[in-house]
């Protein structure tokens, strides 16, 4: 596949260029449960998830800026947070005054090519109800994806992210 376009899995339309995001529907531990265990042990929607009524997650975006064009690549991932952070987010979901609040969490998805990062610390900035929270790695993080987030990525690195996700596999069949 070339960079000419892709068919969006959400809307079904063809868009120009390479996809600029990749998302996960659930935290890994919940996604990996059997159908019945998901029903028994978890509650989730597109923004929030609980597991065993003791573990709490919310979905956000880990933005990786481009160096070759405007914008960023967004990893739509989940963060595990404390009950107090989860409850604050839930209670203030529609409260514009909570926008900009900073909290802490831990990465709850295996990003393709970066399996060692599950559980890594994340700084989280809450956004308006229309936008998911922004996730960033702390400044002291010294792994490759943290460097990508700080320094930006080239066209080749963007392409590599999509290769790791299997984006081109389906198109090549």
pLDDT of 159 > 90? The answer is no
Residue 138 · residue 104 · CB < 8 Å: no
Q: If you average pLDDT over residues 135-139, what whole number do you get?
A: 97
pLDDT tens digit sequence for 63-87: 999 999 999 999 999 999 999 999 9
Measured CA to CA, the distance from residue 148 to residue 120 in angstroms comes to 15
pLDDT tens digit sequence for 82-131: 999 999 999 998 888 899 999 999 999 999 989 899 999 999 999 988 89
Give this prediction's pTM. 0.87
Spell out the alpha helix ranges (H) of the chain.
28-31, 35-41, 83-91, 144-151, 155-165, 167-172
Question: CB-based contacts of 101: which residues, under 8 Å, 6+ apart?
Answer: 88, 92, 125, 126
Give the model's pLDDT for residue 173: 45
Sorted by where each begins, the domain ranges of the chain are 19-153
Measured CA to CA, the distance from residue 50 to residue 27 in angstroms comes to 10
13 pLDDT tier (thresholds 50, 70, 90): low
Measured CA to CA, the distance from residue 61 to residue 114 in angstroms comes to 16
pLDDT of 15 > 60? The answer is no
Residue 50 · residue 38 · CB < 8 Å: no
Q: How far is CA 149 from the centre of its chain?
A: 13
């Amino acid at each position: 596949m070339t960079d000419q376009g892709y068919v969006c899995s959400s809307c079904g339309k063809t868009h120009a260029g390479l996809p600029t995001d990749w998302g996960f529907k659930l935290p890994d531990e919940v996604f990996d449960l059997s159908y019945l265990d998901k029903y028994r042990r978890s509650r989730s929607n597109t923004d929030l998830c609980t597991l065993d009524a003791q573990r709490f997650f919310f979905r956000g975006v880990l933005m990786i800026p481009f160096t070759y064009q405007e914008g960023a690549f967004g990893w739509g991932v989940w963060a595990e947070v404390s009950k107090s952070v989860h409850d604050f987010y839930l209670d203030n979901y529609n409260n514009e005054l909570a926008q900009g609040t900073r909290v802490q969490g831990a990465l709850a998805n295996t990003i393709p090519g970066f399996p060692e990062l599950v559980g890594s610390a994340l700084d989280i900035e809450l956004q308006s109800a229309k936008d998911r929270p922004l996730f960033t790695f702390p400044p002291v993080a010294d792994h490759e994806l943290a460097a990508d987030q700080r320094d930006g990525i080239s066209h080749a690195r963007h392409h590599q992210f999509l290769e790791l996700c299997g984006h081109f596999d389906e198109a090549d069949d």
